[in-house]
């Protein structure tokens, strides 16, 4: 379930574009075991900005996973 949700989230992020989206995608790719692709995404933005934005994203992702575990599995996709 988690792997499927992360793959769907990766697709949604990829469509958004911009530095935030690239870093969000880097974290999802890393969680999916695609480390090389994740490293390329981080390099495209810059290390300092990457550290800050990835910390923010990790917090949001954990919140989404908690919501999904609490009974709303589609909440991780941000669909209303």
**Residues 14-23: tens digit of each pLDDT:** 676 777 777 7
| CB contact at 8 A, 76 and 64 | yes
Q: pLDDT tens-digit profile of 38-79?
A: 888 888 878 788 778 778 877 887 887 777 777 766 665 665
d(C-alpha 73, C-alpha 80), whole Å: 12
pLDDT at 11: 67
Specify the higher pLDDT residue, 3 or 46. Answer: 46
Going from N- to C-terminal start, the domains of the chain cover 2-69
The predicted model scores a pTM of 0.49
d(C-alpha 1, C-alpha 16), whole Å: 23
Residue 3 predicted with pLDDT over 80: no
Please give the average per-residue pLDDT across 9-29, as a whole number.
73
pLDDT at 62: 82
């Amino acid at each position: 379930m988690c792997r499927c949700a992360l793959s769907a989230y990766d697709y949604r992020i990829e469509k958004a574009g911009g530095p935030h989206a690239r870093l969000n995608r880097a974290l999802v790719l890393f969680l999916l075991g695609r480390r090389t692709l994740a490293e390329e995404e981080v390099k495209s933005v810059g290390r300092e900005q990457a550290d800050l934005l990835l910390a923010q994203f990790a917090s949001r992702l954990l919140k989404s996973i908690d919501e999904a575990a609490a009974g709303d599995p589609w909440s991780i996709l941000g669909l209303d």
